[in-house]
Amino acid sequence: MSKHSLPPGVVSGKDYLTLLKSCKEGGYALPAVNVVGTDSINAVMEAAAKNNADVILQLSNGGAEFYAGKGMKDGFQAKVLGAVSAAKHVHLLAAHYGICVVLHTDHANKKLVPWVEALLDHGEVFYKETGKPLFTSHMLDLSEEDIDFNLSECARLLKRMVKIDMSIEIELGVTGGEEDGVGSDEIDNDKLYTQPEDCLKAYEILAPIGHFSLAASFGNVHGVYKPGNVKLRPEILKNAQELVQKTKNTGENPLDLVFHGGSGSEKAQIEQALGCGVFKMNIDTDTQFAFAQGVGKFVLANEKAFKYQIDPENGTPYKKFYDPRKWLREGETAMIARLDEAFADLKSAGKSLALKKSDVMAA
Ligand SMILES: [Zn+2]
């Protein structure tokens, strides 16, 4: 049994910090998987349980909207209620998978600040009812704005979040690539790399208020590009950690760093990032592709079942092939296989802090 342990289920507040500490001390990180519905959510929890690992589930505003249903007329309301609904699904089920789950929302730029604030309205109600926040943390990505605005806005929301045991994730420097409308074309190269001085500034402003994690740009991009197009420079993370440690007289790796755009990264560079205090690596593109491949393979192998309920030539009924449980499950199992790889790359397999039934009985 590891020296830290936690009750299984959604973690927040002090328990979340325990989980982070365990990651950084143990030199491993948790995959943060973007989900869009119960299929992907359940696949991620199943993969975590299979690997005896803890995991981060996150929704983008688009993912949340999809969760509520594309047919909902009020798109803003769908983004809010979809996220709330997904979070409640996870609160109900996570403990039964026997693992710890961090619940998080992904990128929110200036236009989406009202989305985060609406989620906090719901989070405050949930906290009153249960003593727990709805989400472990929300991300505010104001990296396209100037840094003073970015940090003052993060500080304003963090003040509200700490009252309900929440954390914030912020971004400094712009991570390139396509994800919910953040493009990389017109950004000059300097901006792809976060400056250590800016990380120090963030630490000085936010650490006195509450807990924050930091998505720093070190050449990472969203999505998958041709090999060689991504030049990761994890030494940038190291420099930021060292500057904060030296200036603020902290322990080693004081910043809790997040690696955005983890899909398609080389294994050696992932390993290097792990040594620099990265506890979370976002993965979306690769798990999307895995899900699609699983479904696609099945459809191509059983083409007739997707055209006819009953074979027009020999009368074979195809119900057991077109039943959505059949082909959606193919997507889920392919996604789980890709996540097996992620847990191995991030060294988090076998490291779940969740108390097992057998531990409770032995104690
Ligand atoms: Zn991102």
179-207 average pLDDT score: 71
Give me ligand 1 centre to Cα 325, in Å: 31
Distance 46 CA to ligand 1 centre (A): 24
Check residues 361 and 333 and name the one with the higher pLDDT: 333
3-state class (DSSP) for residue 71: coil
Q: How far is CA 314 from CA 15, 303, 306, in A?
A: 59, 15, 16
Distance in angstroms (rounded) separating the CA atoms of residues 329 and 356: 27
Q: How does the average pLDDT of the chain come out, rounded?
A: 91
Q: Please name the amino acid found at residue 59.
A: L
Confidence of residue 363 (pLDDT cuts 50, 70, 90): low
pLDDT grade for 251, boundaries at 50, 70 and 90: very high
Mean pLDDT of 99-122: 98
Task: Read off the pTM.
Answer: 0.93
pLDDT value at residue 180: 43
The residue type found at 356 is: K
CA of 179 from ligand 1 middle (Å) equals: 7
Q: Answer yes or no: is pLDDT of 16 > 50.
A: yes
How many residues does this entry show for the chain? Answer: 363
- Ligand 1 centroid to residue 83 C-alpha, Å: 17
- Give the relative orientation of helices 38-50 and 324-345 as an angle to the nearest 10 degrees: 50
Residue 324 within any structural domain of the chain: yes
Active site residue 106: yes
Residues 238 and 162: their CA atoms lie apart, in Å, by 28
Q: Residue 303 has which token pair?
A: 């083409």
Domain that holds residue 299: 9-362
- The CATH number covering residue 100 comes to 3.20.20.70
Residues contacting residue 67 through CB under 8 Å, at least 6 positions apart? 36, 37, 59, 82, 83, 85, 86
- Residue-wise pLDDT for 238-250, tens only, equals 999 999 999 999 9
Mean pLDDT of 124-134: 98
Please indicate, yes or no, if residue 42 is contained in any of the structural domains. yes
Residue 188 lies in a domain: yes
Q: How many CB atoms lie within 10 A of CB 235?
A: 11
Number of domains the chain contains: 1
pLDDT band (50, 70, 90) for residue 191: low
Residue 263 lies in a domain: yes
Q: What is the pLDDT of residues 50-83, one digit of tens each?
A: 999 999 999 999 999 999 999 999 999 999 999 9
On whether residue 16 sits in a domain, the answer given is yes
- Predicted pLDDT of residue 105: 98
Residue 3 lies in a domain: no
- Residue 266 CA to ligand 1 center (angstroms) comes to 17
CA distance 256 to 250: 13
Residue 1 lies in a domain: no
* Among 51-55, 106-110, 233-237, 251-255, the least confident range: 233-237
- Mean per-residue pLDDT for 141-160? 96
In the block, which residue shows the tokens 């342990």? 5
Question: What is the structure's pLDDT at 277?
Answer: 94
Cβ neighbours for 262, distance < 8 A, ≥ 6 positions apart: 31, 220, 270, 281, 282, 283, 286, 342
The residue annotated as part of the active site, out of 106, 165, 284, 345, is 106
Calculate how far, in angstroms, residue 175's C-alpha sits from the geometric centre of ligand 1: 7
**Would you say residue 335 lies in a domain?**
yes
